[in-house]
Amino acid sequence: MAKKHMKRIAAPFAWMVERKAGKFIARPRGSFSFGTGMPLMTVIKDVLGLVETRKEGKRVLNSRDVFVNGVRRKDEKFMVGLMDLLSLKDLGKT
């Protein structure tokens, strides 16, 4: 049986996140390995700094147009790879 939770301190070092900022982090699901990809929520929240909390991140994913490689994604645990293209249509950023 697979794990469904992940603690922030156990996140791979390839992810650019603070280890002791909180207790939990989104556990990704997808086809990439942990070293080459990270969850979409972590990218929006920790790497890009667009939102402060997970609740705000869910609101952004559900209301705004967030595209990964041209496909709209609403799953916060979707694995974004190293060479994937992330587009935020409302902000006009890619």
Q: 20-41 pLDDT, tens per residue?
A: 787 888 788 877 777 788 888 8
| DSSP letter for each residue of 8-59 | GGGS-TTS---TTS-SEEPPPBSSS-TTTEEEHHHIIIIIS---SSHHHHHH
CA distances from 63 to 1, 6, 29 (A): 33, 26, 22
Model confidence pTM above 0.85: no
* Domains, the chain, with CATH or none: 6-88 (3.10.290.10)
